[in-house]
Structure 1
Amino acid sequence: MFAKFVTWLKSLFYKKELQACLIGLQNAGKTTLTNALCNDPDRDNTIPTIGFNVREVTKGKVNLHLWDLGGQNKFRNLWERYCNDAQCIVYVVDASDKDKLSEAKDELFKLVEMDTLVGKPLLVLGNKNDIDGALKEDQLQKMLDLEQIQNREVCIYSISAKNLTNIDNVIKWMTKYGK
């Protein structure tokens, strides 16, 4: 009982911190998503990320540190380094680009099989659901074989970072991992 009271008292004065890595192939919409999470009104005007971007935003009592990592092939070897310090991994997939799904799946499985990232919660986002023909959650889950990923929480949402569709669920999922 006393421990619950202390926890409640701390929650009045202290914020939680969360480091999250937003990764995925180039042009998946990671920067647009980062800008949407940060309430950036200019979220649509993005250029390819070279290396990484770091943004910080407070949602409720959680201070989010968002690492938007470049998706070009030459930057993918850096993903593990940044994800190692994160509390969760957000993997963004362009759900409208079926030609890149096989590559997206391969990169996702390379990532989740890394020893240093075992157990890290994973949120897979099928972005660009505002585009005709974009895969739905269940289709994307099947195409990416997400049921094969073990020993961690895996969640999937269909979103549109451009139109802010389902962004509230992304925030809820991420903030539960704040420390």
Structure 2
Amino acid sequence: MMKSYITKLLDWIKSKFWNKELELAVVGLQNAGKTTLLGSLATGEYDEDTIPTIGFNLKEIKKGKVGMKMWDLGGQPKFRESWEKYCRNTDCIVFVVDSIDISNMEMARHQLHQLISWPSLAGIPLLVLGNKNDLDGALTEEELIEELNLRVITDRKIACFSISAKDMVNIDITMKWLTTLPKLSKQPQNE
């Protein structure tokens, strides 16, 4: 009884400081710029010494009254099978793609559609970010939508932006989209 009262009190106090806490999974093929993106979101600056993620990293970011816990998941083939586990019960899946790496676009499309086909991920909003638009030959948002076959995804809220984590291009609209997401109610999932 006392524990319940204390939990409610702590939740009330917490609500006075943060409107909501979101949990996000950031996935995509290796070298798409996921870790660089999280660093840019957290600090507002590009860090050229970013080390690629092996396995996963957790980064917590606060923007205004929104706290975000972001799981940065490794994109190497051996880590992709764990994506679904980390994406369960999140408020958004952020799929980052290297928008100049045309040779891997088919693989990115396959991995994205395979991931969102999991019943445990049904309805979770999806944000697709085409990173590296600061480089010549980067796909536009419209080209990303076509290449990744995003128009067939109709079972969830979805957005696609062309960004540069290095030059902070469209990071503002990315954050705005993320911070306006509703908090999803979590349902326990069986392993």
CA distance in 2 between partners of 1:137 and 1:41 (Å): 23
TM-score by length of 1: 0.91
CA distance in 2 between partners of 1:154 and 1:42 (Å): 26
Unaligned runs of 5+ in 2: 1-11, 184-191
**Where does residue 163 of structure 2 map in the other structure?**
159
**Where does residue 137 of structure 1 map in the other structure?**
141
Secondary structure of the 2:108 match is: helix
Counterpart residue identity of residue 20, structure 1: L
Q: CA deviation at 1:82?
A: 0.7
Unaligned runs of 5+ in 1: 1-8
What pairs up with 1:27-106 in 2 under 5 angstroms? 27-39=31-43, 41=45, 43-106=47-110
**Where does residue 14 of structure 1 map in the other structure?**
17
Say what the alpha-carbon RMSD is for the aligned residues: 1.7
Identify which of 5, 8, 24 aligns with 2:28: 24
Q: CA deviation at 1:40?
A: 5.9
**Where does residue 4 of structure 1 map in the other structure?**
none
Counterpart residue identity of residue 75, structure 2: G
CA distance in 2 between partners of 1:178 and 1:43 (Å): 30
CA distance in 2 between partners of 1:71 and 1:143 (Å): 19
**Where does residue 172 of structure 1 map in the other structure?**
176
Distance 1:30 1:127, change over 3 A: same
CA distance in 1 between partners of 2:37 and 2:129 (Å): 10
CA distance in 2 between partners of 1:55 and 1:12 (Å): 21
Q: Does the 8 Å CA contact 2:45/2:168 hold for their aligned counterparts?
A: no
Q: Does the 8 Å CA contact 2:94/2:127 hold for their aligned counterparts?
A: yes
Q: CA deviation at 1:85?
A: 2.3
Distance 1:79 1:24, change over 3 A: same
Secondary structure of the 1:38 match is: helix
CA distance in 2 between partners of 1:111 and 1:56 (Å): 24
Q: What per-residue deviation string (whole Å, max 9, x for no partner) do you get for residues 31-88 of structure 1?
A: 0000011016452211221100101111000011111000000000110111002100
> Matched residues, percent identical?
49
**Where does residue 6 of structure 1 map in the other structure?**
none
CA distance in 2 between partners of 1:21 and 1:172 (Å): 17
CA distance in 1 between partners of 2:155 and 2:78 (Å): 28
Q: What per-residue deviation string (whole Å, max 9, x for no partner) do you get for residues 141-168 of structure 1?
A: 0111100112101100000001100001
1:122 aligns with 2:126: yes
Q: Does the 8 Å CA contact 1:17/1:178 hold for their aligned counterparts?
A: no
Counterpart residue identity of residue 108, structure 1: L
TM-score by length of 2: 0.85
